[in-house]
Amino acid sequence: MRSKQVTVLLVFVVQSLFHSFNAVAQVAVRGETVYTMAGEPIKDGVVVITDGKIVEVGPASAVQIPDGHRTLTAKVVTPGLVDAHTVVGLTGYMNQDQDQDQLERSGPIHPELRAIDAYNPQERLVQWLREFGITTIHTGHAPGLPLSGQTMIAKTTGETVEEAVRVPTAMLAVTLGRDAAGKTKGKEATPGTRAKVMAVLRAELIKAQDYTRKLETAKEDKKPSRDLRLEMLARVLDGEVRLLITAHKAHDIISALRLAREFDLKIVLDGAAEAYMVLDKIKQAGVPVIIHPTMLRAYGERKNLSMETAAKLKEAGIPFALQSGYESYVPKTRVVLFEAAIAAAYGLSFEDALASITIEAAKILGVDRFVGSLEVGKDGDVALFDGDPFEYTSHVVGVVIEGVVVSEVRR
């Protein structure tokens, strides 16, 4: 019996040492084709990651893998994928009250709600996305209210939000159109028309302007008390935080652009099902688009969506990225890898589709300095595939985040 206990203990110690080593291991990833998204694909390429950062990228014939580095191999290697807009971590896979924190329906305006206070890094949906090669997500409060709350940018790893988060406050989520107007039910207090939605938003922004003015000019004993809502909107007015405006109908997109002009706001259009109808207006405004999932269900505000919109945005020269979006039903999330594959089947080139979930997404989110491409100095985030990433017969076979192998599940 004692011998058996000793054996079990030794196995436990060895396993613990293995996992500890794996957590801090230095990694090299070799692929038959490496898409760096910073230049031409590399045939028989290698990405070397040391202390979480990429230190060398190039053909295997020119790159020496340092001693002590674990080497992973795959047919295709890409940067870790970037989901430009999701609500995963606030919404959960069980679709029950206890894991649904994406919308606070006690009122229409909630700029003070922080995504980091609701995000659950151990939510199964986070793991689900990670296993499909998604290493960075822009997540937070969902569309559905005139102003539902803040968003954040996180890695799909970590036991706590502090370990996962990379940008605690990324944008403020705004929704225009019937999805925001809704109907008043019980404790819910939403505007009833499009005009009311716009009026509520304008009124809050004007209050924030007045709040800022008083803070700057009033004597100390006359300054207004702290107001978390107005403080956040003041950051929007200062251009420090962008509005993420979900608008699907063409006239709602125009309303979003009008609001931005009136208050000199920095915005990102979200959803934009009818963007193809007003491409010239969007381009003139210089506003990027995080387009709806390619396979989004076409009903309601989204009934006129097109699977070719991504290609049309590209042709028009408008910066865009794809997203998994917000689903009000199980399983609560899509996978951007699949959405990009369909976009590639409807007019986007392979490289442009891949860019929409890597470097272009990172640029729109303002995090391309550390993710989105395989370049020296950037985070060691890598996705490994056993074939063409956009072929339904291919699988994700490995995922690395900041030099740590976080998944070797075949998806």
Please tell me the predicted confidence (pLDDT) of residue 383.
98
Q: Which of 398, 380, 409 is nearest to 50 (CA)?
A: 380
Residue 250 sits at φ, ψ, to 5 deg, of -60, -45
Please tell me the predicted confidence (pLDDT) of residue 21.
41
Say which amino acid occupies 218.
Answer: A
Q: Confidence band (pLDDT; 50, 70, 90) for 25?
A: low
Please tell me the predicted confidence (pLDDT) of residue 22.
46
Do β-strands 320-322 and 289-291 pair in parallel, antiparallel, or remain unpaired?
Answer: parallel
Give me the mean pLDDT over the 64-81 stretch.
Answer: 97
361-387: per-residue pLDDT in tens?
A: 999 999 999 999 999 999 999 999 999
Please tell me the predicted confidence (pLDDT) of residue 290.
98
136-189: per-residue pLDDT in tens?
A: 999 999 999 999 999 999 999 999 999 999 999 999 999 999 999 865 554 456
2-78+402-407 carries CATH number 2.60.40: no
Please tell me the predicted confidence (pLDDT) of residue 1.
47
Gap between the Cα atoms of 401 and 134, Å rounded? 10
8-state DSSP, 320: E
Q: Confidence band (pLDDT; 50, 70, 90) for 401?
A: very high
Please tell me the predicted confidence (pLDDT) of residue 8.
43
Gap between the Cα atoms of 55 and 61, Å rounded? 16
Whether residue 13 is predicted with pLDDT greater than 80 in this model: the reply is no
Q: Confidence band (pLDDT; 50, 70, 90) for 222?
A: confident
Q: Give CA angle at 246 (242, 249), nearest 5°.
A: 135
Gap between the Cα atoms of 121 and 289, Å rounded? 27
324-339: per-residue pLDDT in tens?
A: 998 777 777 999 999 9
Please tell me the predicted confidence (pLDDT) of residue 190.
73
Reported as half-sphere exposure (CB side, CA atoms, 13 A), residue 103 has a value of: 18
Please tell me the predicted confidence (pLDDT) of residue 3.
52
193-212: per-residue pLDDT in tens?
A: 999 999 999 999 999 999 99
Say which amino acid occupies 96.
Answer: Q
Gap between the Cα atoms of 247 and 389, Å rounded? 30
Q: Give CA angle at 138 (131, 49), nearest 5°.
A: 55
Please tell me the predicted confidence (pLDDT) of residue 233.
98
Question: Any idea how long the chain is?
Answer: 411
Please tell me the predicted confidence (pLDDT) of residue 332.
78
399 near 383, Cβ under 8 Å? yes
81-371 carries CATH number 3.20.20.140: yes
The span from the first CA to the last CA of the chain, in angstroms, equals 41
Partnered with residue 134 across adjacent β-strands are: 81
Please tell me the predicted confidence (pLDDT) of residue 18.
40
Give me the mean pLDDT over the 117-133 stretch.
Answer: 97
Gap between the Cα atoms of 161 and 158, Å rounded? 7
Domain ranges of the chain: 2-78+402-407, 81-371
